[in-house]
C-alpha cells in the first residue's frame, strides 16, 4: 500500500483533479465577453502572398475582425524565436511551410469563425519548395530568407564557435572540440566512418495549443498552456514594445508538452487578435493544427571514430546536419546540444564536432524531450556497437573500458560525471535477465547534460499561523510531478508534514521568476530555490517562537505545529495570534538559485548534472517480413535521490515508450514538401499493445546530484538510449545494421539483404 501522505498530498490532488476532470486546463477557462478565433493556413510549402480578400468574411454574422500580416506593421518586433528571431507571428509576404498561418478570423463563436475563415480568398504565387536538407543546400537552391537573421548569437565558452547565417539556407553552424583531432585519428589503430539518419516526428501532446488573451488599456493578460511563463512574458513585451510588468501570464494545467509548448508559439498572435477585436480572444488549435506547429529535428549524422590497439576510444569527428524547417524556434539550442553531446558517456583524447541547422520548407523543428541528446545518443551508441562487432569485442566490456568514471570531467572545463556509469550498466543487465531464446540482444547508454547554461529560479514559501504551507514557484507541471516534488522539498526543509503543503497557481504577477520547465533542471534549480526559501522561513518561525516563549529550539515541533515545554504542549497558532492580532500572520521566506556563468566551461557555464540512460532490449526478427518483435525492454536512469520514486519511474517509462515509437514506426512523412500523414488518425504513435511483453524500469540513486539530498533530473533520461539498444539488438539477431529510423519492415528487409546478399529469404 502507498504511504498515506501520497494519497492526501498535493501531488495526489493534482493527479486526482486530472483524472476526475476537475482540473482546470486552458480549454476549461471562460472569460467574460470572450470571442473565438480560427486560423487560415497555407496549403503550399513555399509561396508568395499576392492578395488576401477578406471582405466576404468580414461581412459574415458574428465576425469581429480579420487579422493579417498588415496588422503587424506597428509592432516593435513582429518576429520570435530562441536567440535568433525569424518567425513572423503571422505570415507577412511569404509562406514557408504547409500550415503557415496567413490570416485569422475573430468571431462571437467558433462556428462563425470557422465559416468566415472558409470565405477568405488568398492568391499565392508558388515558389520552389525546399523539401529536405539536400535540396536546401544545393548550389542552385532558392533562398528561403532574403535578409540576415535577427537576434543575437548564443554566448559560448572557449571550446565552441557559433556562426549565424554561414551559408545560403543555413541558419546556424556550431563547432565544438578539444584536442588535436587530426593527429589523434592518425595515431589510432582502427578508424571507422558511419552515417546515421533520424526521422521527423511530432510531439503529439493530447492537449493542443490553447491561448486566451485580454487587453485592459495597455495591459495584457494571457492564459497559455506553456512551459515558460516568464520567457513568454518577456517575448510578448518585446514584440509589442511594452514593459514586462504590463504583461501577465497565467499557466493552468498543461496536458503534455514534451518541448512542443516551450517558448512562444501562438501567444503573440492571440494577443494581436485581442488587440484588434477589443475583446478577450481564445484560440484553440485542433490536434491536427498542433501537428503543423512544431516537430522534432530530423537529419543526418556522420561519425568518424578512432580506436587504439587496446580497444580504447581515441578521437571522434562528427558532422551533424539538422532539418530546422521553415523557422528557427529553438534550433540553435538543439544544434549546439547535439554536437556537444556527440561523445556520449565516454572519454576521448580529441573531439571535433560540427552541427548545421538547415532551413527547409517543412514544419518548424524545435525542442523535443532530450533535444540534441536523442539524435546524438542514437548515432553514437549505434556506432559503438558497430565498432564492437568489427573488432570482435564484447559490447558490455568495451563500454565499461571506455566509460567516464565518477568525478571525471565530461570535457575540459566542464563538471565531472555525477553517476556511476558502470554500476548503472550492471544494474540494467541484471534487470534484463537471461537472453530470450532465439533473440538478439542490444544495449546502449544515452547521455545528456542537464541544468547548465546558467539556469536560475526564485521561490517563496509561506507558512500561515495555522501551519499551512504554500509553495510559490513557476516550475510548470507537464506531467513530471513538479508540485509534489517541490512541496516535499519544502516539507523536509521545514520539518513539517507533506500533507500541510500546497503549490500555488502560476501567475507571473505573483509567482517568482523561473527559467521554465526545460532540460530536466526543475528539481535541481527550482528545488534548491524552494529549499532555501523553506529554510529561511523555518528560521523565522523558530526565532519568533524562541522570542515569544523563551523555549529551546529542540522544544519546537513544527510537524505538529506546537511547542513542548515542561511536559505541556502549546499550539503555535494562538501564540502567533496573541502577538499579531486577530488577522494573524504569515511567515514568508525567499530563496533563489543561479548556476553561475563560467567562461572556462565549453557552454559558458558548468553543467549542473549528467543524465545517463541505460537501455537494453531483446528482439527477434522475422526474416521473411522484416517484422521486429521486442520481447524485453529495460530502461534505467539516475535520479541522484528519488524524491518522488513513482514519478521518476513514470517519467522513465513514458519517455522509453516515446523512444520505442520513434524507433519502430513513428514518422511525419511528406511528399515533395507536403505532409502526407499530419493528421491524428493517420499519424502512428505508440499504443498499449506496443508495450513489450517484459518492460521494466529502474531508478538508480547514486546521490551525486546538486539538488536537495543529492537529487538531480531524470525526466528526459528514458528517451535517450532506447532506439540504439533496439537497433543493436536487431543487428545481433539477424546481422541487419539499421542506420536510419524508424526500423520499418521494409528497412529491416533491406538491411538483411545488405548483410547477406547471397542468402535467399
Show me where the domains of the chain are located: 31-127+207-255+260-291, 299-452+600-755, 456-594
Task: Name the band, by pLDDT with cuts 50, 70 and 90, for residue 515.
Answer: confident
pLDDT higher than threshold 60 for residue 7: no
Residue-level pLDDT at 11: 57
Buried/exposed code over 187-216 (b: 16+ C-beta within 10 A; e: otherwise): ebeeeeebebebbbbbbbbebbbbbbbbbe
Portion of the chain with pLDDT greater than 90, in percent: 90
DSSP 665-696: T----EETTEESS-STTTS----GGGS-SEEE
Residue 30 CB neighbour total at 10 angstroms: 9
Paired strand residues for 353: 176, 318
Average pLDDT estimate for 320-326: 98
Is the pLDDT score of 481 beyond 50? yes
Do 31-127+207-255+260-291 and 456-594 show the same overall fold? no
pLDDT tens, position by position, 447-457:
999 877 778 99
The pLDDT, as a whole number, for residue 761 is 38
Mean pLDDT to the nearest integer, 694-718: 94
pLDDT category, 521, cuts 50, 70, 90? confident
3-state secondary structure of 247: strand
- CATH class held by domain 299-452+600-755: alpha beta
pTM score, whole prediction: 0.95
The two beta strands, 350-359 and 313-325, are parallel
Task: Compute the radius of gyration of the chain from its Cα atoms.
Answer: 27
Helices (H), strands (E): how many in the chain?
A: 19, 34
The model's pLDDT over 121-143, given as tens digits with 9 standing for 90+, comes to: 999 999 999 999 999 999 999 99
> Residue with C-alpha cell 529549499?
531
Q: What is the CATH number of domain 31-127+207-255+260-291?
A: 3.90.1170.50
Confidence bin at 40 (pLDDT 50/70/90): very high
pLDDT for residue 479 is more than 90: no
Q: Does domain 456-594 have CATH number 3.40.190.10?
A: no
| In contact, 681 and 630? CB cutoff 8 Å | no
* Model confidence band, residue 8 (pLDDT cutoffs 50, 70, 90): low
**CA distance between the termini of the chain:** 52
Mean of all residue pLDDT scores within the chain: 94
For the residues 46-67, what does the mean pLDDT come to?
98
- pLDDT above 70 covers what percent of the chain? 97
The C-alpha torsion from 365 through 368 and 373 to 378, rounded to 10°, is -80
Helices (H), 601-721: 645-664
Closest to 397 in 3D by CA, of 466, 311, 339: 311
How confident is the model at residue 757, as a pLDDT? 65
Q: Is the pLDDT of residue 717 over 60?
A: yes
Distance CA 39, CA 174 (A): 36
> What integer pLDDT is reported at residue 397 of this predicted model?
98
Cα–Cα distances (Å) from 380 to 344, 591, 739, in that order, read: 7, 40, 11
Amino acid 287: pLDDT: 93
Please report the pLDDT score of residue 9 as a whole number: 60
Q: Which residue has the cell 528545488?
A: 527
pLDDT band at 21 (very low <50, low <70, confident <90, very high): confident
CA–CA separation, 274 vs 41, rounded Å?
19
What letter does residue 518 receive in the DSSP assignment? -
**Predicted pLDDT of residue 5:** 46
Amino acid at each position: 500500500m502507498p504511504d498515506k501522505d501520497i494519497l492526501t498530498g498535493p501531488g495526489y490532488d493534482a493527479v486526482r483533479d486530472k483524472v476526475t476532470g476537475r482540473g482546470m486546463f486552458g480549454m476549461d477557462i471562460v472569460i467574460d465577453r470572450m470571442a473565438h478565433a480560427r486560423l487560415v493556413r497555407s496549403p503550399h510549402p513555399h509561396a508568395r502572398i499576392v492578395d488576401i480578400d477578406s471582405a466576404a468574411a468580414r461581412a459574415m454574422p458574428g465576425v469581429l475582425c480579420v487579422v493579417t500580416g498588415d496588422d503587424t506593421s506597428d509592432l516593435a518586433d513582429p518576429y520570435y524565436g530562441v536567440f535568433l528571431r525569424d518567425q513572423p507571428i503571422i505570415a507577412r509576404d511569404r509562406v514557408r511551410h504547409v500550415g503557415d498561418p496567413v490570416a485569422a478570423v475573430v468571431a462571437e463563436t467558433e462556428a462563425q469563425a470557422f465559416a468566415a475563415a472558409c470565405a477568405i480568398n488568398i492568391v499565392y504565387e508558388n515558389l520552389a519548395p525546399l523539401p529536405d536538407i539536400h535540396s536546401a543546400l544545393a548550389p542552385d537552391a532558392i533562398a528561403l530568407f532574403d535578409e540576415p537573421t535577427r537576434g543575437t548569437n548564443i554566448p559560448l565558452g572557449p571550446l565552441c564557435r557559433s556562426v549565424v547565417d554561414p551559408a545560403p539556407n543555413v541558419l546556424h553552424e556550431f563547432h565544438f572540440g578539444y584536442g588535436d583531432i587530426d593527429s589523434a585519428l592518425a595515431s589510432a589503430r582502427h578508424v571507422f566512418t558511419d552515417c546515421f539518419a533520424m526521422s521527423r516526428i511530432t510531439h503529439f501532446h493530447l492537449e493542443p495549443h490553447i491561448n486566451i488573451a485580454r487587453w485592459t488599456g495597455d495591459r495584457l493578460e494571457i492564459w497559455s498552456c506553456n512551459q515558460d511563463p516568464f520567457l513568454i512574458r518577456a517575448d510578448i513585451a518585446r514584440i509589442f514594445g511594452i514593459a514586462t510588468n504590463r504583461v501577465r501570464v497565467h499557466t493552468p494545467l498543461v496536458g503534455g508538452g514534451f518541448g512542443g509548448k516551450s517558448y512562444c508559439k501562438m501567444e503573440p498572435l492571440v494577443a494581436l487578435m485581442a488587440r484588434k477585436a477589443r475583446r478577450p480572444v481564445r484560440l484553440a488549435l485542433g490536434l491536427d493544427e498542433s501537428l503543423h506547429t512544431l516537430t522534432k529535428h530530423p537529419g543526418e549524422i556522420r561519425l568518424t571514430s578512432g580506436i587504439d590497439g587496446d580497444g580504447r576510444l581515441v578521437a571522434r569527428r562528427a558532422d551533424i546536419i539538422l532539418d530546422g524547417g521553415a523557422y528557427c524556434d529553438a534550433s540553435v539550442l538543439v544544434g549546439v546540444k547535439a554536437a556537444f553531446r556527440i561523445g556520449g558517456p565516454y572519454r576521448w583524447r580529441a573531439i571535433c564536432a560540427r552541427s548545421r541547422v538547415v532551413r527547409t520548407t517543412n514544419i518548424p523543428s524545435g525542442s523535443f524531450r532530450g533535444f540534441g541528446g536523442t539524435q546524438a545518443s542514437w548515432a553514437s551508441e549505434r556506432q559503438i556497437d558497430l565498432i564492437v562487432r568489427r573488432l570482435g569485442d564484447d559490447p558490455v566490456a568495451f563500454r565499461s573500458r571506455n566509460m567516464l568514471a565518477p568525478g571525471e570531467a565530461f570535457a575540459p572545463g566542464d563538471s565531472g560525471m555525477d553517476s556511476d556509469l558502470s554500476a548503472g550498466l550492471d544494474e540494467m543487465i541484471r534487470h534484463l535477465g537471461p537472453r530470450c531464446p532465439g533473440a538478439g540482444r542490444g544495449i546502449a547508454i544515452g547521455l545528456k547534460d542537464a541544468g547548465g547554461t546558467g539556469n536560475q529560479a526564485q521561490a517563496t514559501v509561506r507558512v500561515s499561523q495555522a501551519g499551512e504551507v504554500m509553495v510559490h514557484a513557476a516550475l510548470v507541471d507537464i506531467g513530471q510531478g513538479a508540485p509534489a516534488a517541490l512541496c516535499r522539498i519544502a516539507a523536509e526543509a521545514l520539518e513539517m508534514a507533506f500533507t500541510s503543503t500546497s503549490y500555488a497557481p502560476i501567475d507571473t504577477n505573483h509567482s517568482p521568476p523561473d527559467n521554465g520547465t526545460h532540460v530536466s533542471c526543475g528539481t535541481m534549480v527550482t528545488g534548491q530555490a524552494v529549499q532555501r526559501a523553506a529554510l529561511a522561513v523555518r528560521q523565522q518561525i523558530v526565532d519568533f517562537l524562541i522570542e515569544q516563549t523563551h523555549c529551546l529550539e529542540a522544544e519546537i515541533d513544527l510537524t505538529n505545529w506546537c511547542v513542548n515545554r515542561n511536559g505541556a504542549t502549546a499550539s503555535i497558532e494562538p501564540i502567533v495570534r496573541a502577538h499579531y492580532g486577530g488577522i494573524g500572520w504569515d511567515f514568508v521566506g525567499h530563496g533563489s538559485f543561479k548556476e553561475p556563468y563560467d567562461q572556462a566551461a565549453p557552454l559558458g557555464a558548468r553543467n549542473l548534472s549528467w543524465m545517463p540512460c541505460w537501455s537494453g532490449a531483446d528482439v527477434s526478427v522475422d526474416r521473411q517480413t522484416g517484422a521486429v518483435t521486442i520481447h524485453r525492454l529495460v530502461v534505467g536512469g539516475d535520479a541522484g535521490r528519488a524524491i518522488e520514486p513513482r514519478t521518476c519511474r513514470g517519467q522513465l517509462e513514458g519517455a522509453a515508450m516515446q523512444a520505442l515509437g520513434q524507433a519502430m514506426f513513428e514518422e511525419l512523412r511528406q511528399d515533395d514538401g507536403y505532409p502526407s500523414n499530419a493528421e491524428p488518425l493517420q499519424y502512428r504513435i505508440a499504443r498499449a499493445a506496443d508495450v513489450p511483453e517484459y518492460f521494466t524500469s529502474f531508478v538508480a540513486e547514486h546521490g551525486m546530484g546538486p539538488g536537495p539530498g543529492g537529487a538531480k533530473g531524470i525526466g528526459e533520461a528514458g528517451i535517450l538510449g532506447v532506439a540504439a539498444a533496439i537497433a543493436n539488438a536487431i543487428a545481433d539477431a539477424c546481422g541487419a545494421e539499421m542506420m536510419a529510423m524508424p526500423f520499418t519492415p521494409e528497412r529491416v528487409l533491406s538491411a538483411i539483404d545488405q548483410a547477406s546478399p547471397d542468402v535467399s529469404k
